[in-house]
Structure 1
Amino acid sequence: MHRRLVFEDPVSRAAVWSRRLAWFALVVLLLSLLLVRLREPSIEGLAPVAGAYVFVLLALGLALVAFVRIWREGHRGVGMAAGALLLCLVLLAPAGYVGFLLATRPALADISTDIDDPPAFSRSMAALTARAGRIPPDVAPARRRLQRQAYPKIAPIVLEEPAEAAFALARKAVTALGWQVVDVARPGGRSGAGRIDAVARGRLLRFSEDITIRVKPRVDGSRIDIRSASRLGSHDLGANARRIAAFAEEIDLLQER
């Protein structure tokens, strides 16, 4: 009785290492994001995240090499290479979305519903302490006009309620959105305007953004203006505009209740 030997094609080493490297990249990326959340936010602090994506790209390249070798030489390992490729694409999706926002959104980091007379940030001790002594700088009129072109729906909130009622609505909206109130001035005084200063933090990286809300009385009610400014970088990826839109939507919801 003769025993027949069966020779199997070798497994592609590129496929094996692409899978290993893809999972290693996932671990490095998760650890780097955790590190960014725990440290003081800074542009330089994003370096570990960028480093993690180097491993993602290497794993992606190995997966593509594995597919080529499997096709040409008949090696095994299609499943490993496909799994690595899928994982790399999932990890690259957030970076791709950020790239899309960089390409489609203007390089703005300070958005206001009033581009002619933006609300001023409080300079009280409590507000300065919460902002680590930072006062968002004034934005040139040309940059404000760029905002109008990019976000035409960002506009003042005009209410029929008196300033006191509008101020109460704004305060409730800030609380509902989870922003940290750092300074408050009720409507009245020489200008008649009220003010709420707050700090909002991102859900993932916990970057802090500064917000000031101005409530002014009008003959037929009141007007609310809000300004949101990023602390880091010159491009907010549209975050400040989205934050202002969320505030306006919350005001609408509170009025309907």
Structure 2
Amino acid sequence: MLLGLAANRLHHQNEDAALFSFLRACEQGIRELNIGFHAVGRTYDAIAAAEMLKGHKGLVRYPYGREGGLMKLVAEVVGMPGDNRVLDGAIYLIDPVDPSSIFPEALALKRQCVIHGKPFISTAASARDWVEMERIHAGLAPDRQADRLHDYGNQTLALIAHDAMKPAMLDFCERNFALLSRYRRRVGTGTTGQKLNELAWSKGWPADKPWVDRYNSGPLGGDAQIADLVLERRCQRAIFFEDPHVARQHEADIQLLERAVTTVTQEVVCMTSPAVAQRWCDAAVKR
């Protein structure tokens, strides 16, 4: 398993930063699973200076971002068949106020991960959750330190899908209805929320009780409303099926939600691909 790895300066500038908290929590799992990282220059240097992942042969230094390191990760997510360089996904711990987080290569990294159904992991909580998910799929015992990520009965789940992805969201929720129903609360934007409620009622959910608490549609501010829940630590997981092929008129609202998630990087797990979300559900049931 091989991932790209990058972190904005905020996330490795002190010992409590998100990159280091992720590595401390997951180093054993990284070694157990033999996860390799192609780490962009400054991120690699920070890991080496902190003496983390010492002796891990899977950690490889790539050029600094300004020298094309992040661009190379984008190409490897797509796949470089002649060189047999293919990444299984990318961890990019984003500082939402760092201008480099919206450089073309940063946006392309996420877009290509979504297009190719690979994990794009932008928060420390998501990275922690992903390693635990892969440990479970490998048949390893649950890490009790990750239990807080699976305390569904006390958590809120956001379910959001762009127009072209609404059928995929409905299919996903129907297949995983029992697991998703364990959450204390589910929230969604207008049309998606209504369709999910109709699905739940057809499956026997009480007709006088919404399965999803509906906020406004995305263009009318629903993404902003859910972003506020995230910032108040009242939403712990977001499943956001994005259509990477269509320009959205309310792009700013979508970015607002994404920035909220990365602002509380230690608190919120975010998944943007149906394939990745399904793999999480399968692991959650096993766990």
With the shorter chain as reference, the TM-score category is: under 0.3
What is the TM-score normalised by the length of structure 1?
0.26
TM superposition score normalised by structure 2: 0.24
Higher radius of gyration, 1 or 2: 1
